[in-house]
């Protein structure tokens, strides 16, 4: 009955479109009252959920991404990518993918990637006679790299939910799959461009190239500071995030100087709104997850999956299917917090490394951001491209195939995720 109240009220409230954080809290309180648990115990669990030093990195990553986004980094990365790869057939589409790779390493957000780069590149692609659904699909699918390529605040959320898995190892674990995803999408993008005879990119004046490369590299150096600090052991993830934010502030306001420093108030306001949502979700899911553990739901799920099949490959496939289906109807951050305590014990019971599982989890839920009916990235891309969701989803079909291919490779070839963490000894 306790499990029925917890999960039943959760599903019912979701159906009535109650915000996910409130849904988690209401379900937890109702279950706690039925079980006779003091509400103060749930409150303590919520406070304990956000009382983590590693979570301090999240606000810095969010602020750094907002600063660079507001300060015109997207246009500079587009120009930088155009210098590298823009001359070939379908050049602007290829620039889109490569710019997403670079931008993902700064923002760590697929939604920010699509919003920022898409608002520039989708109209540009349509103007150069690219089909609208193709332009939107390239933008959406390439933005999923943003949740994989470090630094990703979703990796930090998983680390917290998993009980302290190394953030550095997760960052390194996501890098290989993120770059593989970008490469596969780039190959598909080029093949479609050749088939449909899309135009080559416009030539760039030679005298402009040094400035474009310099400004692009200055922005990308944010990633070097963050990852270099973590991997060298000089900084923790939190310290690297703080120093990276300071660097982003200096570059944006004193080097690029596209916006006045008075815009910092707007940037902080937007960052704190995002942070409030993230921390509220973490607090609410901590109470919900504690009740799940108390009611032994993870053990029940583990036993059920193992009873269906004891084959590790089949169990991994079932977990992937569960995560993909959930990702189609819920957002990423709450799903990380809800599914990790349930499925991680299943993964470790079949010998799966927690880093490998974390990368697989993030990739599954990242794909969910681009799938109907509630994929936020899909909606944003369709809105920017001014096409119906149905047309955007249809145009995404070959790109879904590419993402599923990468997902299966990541699921069944652990070294794609574990090679770099093992190499650096994280």
| Cβ-contact 404, 159 below 8 angstroms | no
Would you list the domain boundaries of the chain? Answer: 2-424
Model confidence, pTM: 0.82
Q: What is the pLDDT of residue 310?
A: 84
Residue 147 burial (C-beta neighbours within 10 Å; 0-12, 13-18, 19+): buried
| Cβ-contact 380, 116 below 8 angstroms | no
Q: What is the pLDDT of residue 268?
A: 92
**Which residues does the chain have with pLDDT short of 50?**
none
Q: What is the pLDDT of residue 426?
A: 57
Question: Using CA atoms, how far apart are residues 411 and 352, in angstroms rounded to an integer?
Answer: 10
Q: What is the pLDDT of residue 425?
A: 65
Q: What is the pLDDT of residue 55?
A: 78
Per residue in 379-402, pLDDT (tens digit) is: 888 988 889 988 999 999 999 999
CA-to-CA separations, 263 to 4, 271, 276, 302, in angstroms, rounded: 49, 12, 20, 50
Q: What is the pLDDT of residue 358?
A: 95
Question: Using CA atoms, how far apart are residues 210 and 6, in angstroms rounded to an integer?
Answer: 59
């Amino acid at each position: 009955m306790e499990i029925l109240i917890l999960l039943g009220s959760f599903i019912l409230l979701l159906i009535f479109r109650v915000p996910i954080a409130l849904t988690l809290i209401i379900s937890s309180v109702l279950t706690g009252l039925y079980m006779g648990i003091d509400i103060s115990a749930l409150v303590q669990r919520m406070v304990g959920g956000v009382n983590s030093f590693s979570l301090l990195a999240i606000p810095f990553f969010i602020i750094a991404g907002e600063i660079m986004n507001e300060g015109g980094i997207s246009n500079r990365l587009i120009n930088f990518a155009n210098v590298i790869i823009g001359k070939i057939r379908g050049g602007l589409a290829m620039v889109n993918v490569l710019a997403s790779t670079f931008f993902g390493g700064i923002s760590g957000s697929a939604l920010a990637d699509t919003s920022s780069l898409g608002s520039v590149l989708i109209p540009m692609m349509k103007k150069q006679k690219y089909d609208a659904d193709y332009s939107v699909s390239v933008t959406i699918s390439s933005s999923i790299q943003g949740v994989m390529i470090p630094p990703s605040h979703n990796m930090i959320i998983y680390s917290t939910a998993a009980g302290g898995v190394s953030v550095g190892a997760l960052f390194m674990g996501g890098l290989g799959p993120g770059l593989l995803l970008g490469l596969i999408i780039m190959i598909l993008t080029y093949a479609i461009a050749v088939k449909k005879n899309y135009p080559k990119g416009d030539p760039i004046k030679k005298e402009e190239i040094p400035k474009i490369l310099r400004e692009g590299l200055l922005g990308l150096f944010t990633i070097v500071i963050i990852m270099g600090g973590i991997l060298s052991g000089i900084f923790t993830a939190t310290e690297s995030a703080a120093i990276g934010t300071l660097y982003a502030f200096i570059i944006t306001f004193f080097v690029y100087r596209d916006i006045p420093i008075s815009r910092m108030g707007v940037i902080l306001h937007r960052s704190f709104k995002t942070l409030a949502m993230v921390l509220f979700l973490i607090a609410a899911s901590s109470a919900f997850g504690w009740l799940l553990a108390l009611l032994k739901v993870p053990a029940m799920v583990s036993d059920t999956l193992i009873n269906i099949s004891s084959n590790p490959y089949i169990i991994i496939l079932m977990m992937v299917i569960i995560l993909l289906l959930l990702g189609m109807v819920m957002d990423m951050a709450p799903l990380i917090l809800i599914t990790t305590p349930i499925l991680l014990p299943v993964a470790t019971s079949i010998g799966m490394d927690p880093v490998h599982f974390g990368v697989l989890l993030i990739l599954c839920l990242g794909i969910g951001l681009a799938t109907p009916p509630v994929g936020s990235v899909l909606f944003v891309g369709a809105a920017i491209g001014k096409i119906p969701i149905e047309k955007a989803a249809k145009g995404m079909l070959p790109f879904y195939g590419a993402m599923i291919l990468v997902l299966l490779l990541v699921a069944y070839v652990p070294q794609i995720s574990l090679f770099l963490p093992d190499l650096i000894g994280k």
